[in-house]
Structure 1
């Protein structure tokens, strides 16, 4: 197995787990699912950067260079994802307080 296959499989599993959690009927698994999908996207962007080990980020004498753009994009996405997750958790807490349930549509299923 190659490293690319292992990374792609890992990204696929994290995405599948995120989708599964997003399809749950409770608000907190939905938040965790969104977070997992955000992590999968970050790893995907980082893996697409084709980072070169020990390569300088600036071109010198025709040597291989490392592209700093994916690293900057992932760092920005981590900060934005953290803020968004905090906001969504606060919205879920407020919804639970108002409706007295953590079901996503505000109604408990009939059993």
Structure 2
């Protein structure tokens, strides 16, 4: 406890600021910080608004619909990917793109 300030054991001064001083208007009675804090406290201490009766059930039903839609889209994507792989494999087996095509410039040399 140095410098003659009213410092609490937790390192805060009497106005609620930390060891750095200032406090940006909190707890000092100046600025709009205390007005906002008081308004928030008043709102939180007051009566809370009523929740509609079917809100939880509606949210659960919406969640189930979203999960079902995602599952269907995921299955569709995997099915399309599988079909594309099969189509590519069939095309590659028929066309055999790794083989060099015969030359059309000169006739093949046979019997040398």
Task: Report the TM range for the smaller structure's normalisation.
Answer: under 0.3
Compare CA radii of gyration and give the structure with the larger one: 2
Query: Which protein has the bigger helix share?
Result: 1
TM superposition score normalised by structure 2: 0.27
TM superposition score normalised by structure 1: 0.27
- Kindly indicate whether structure 1 or structure 2 has the higher relative contact order, using CA contacts under 8 Å at least 6 residues apart: 1
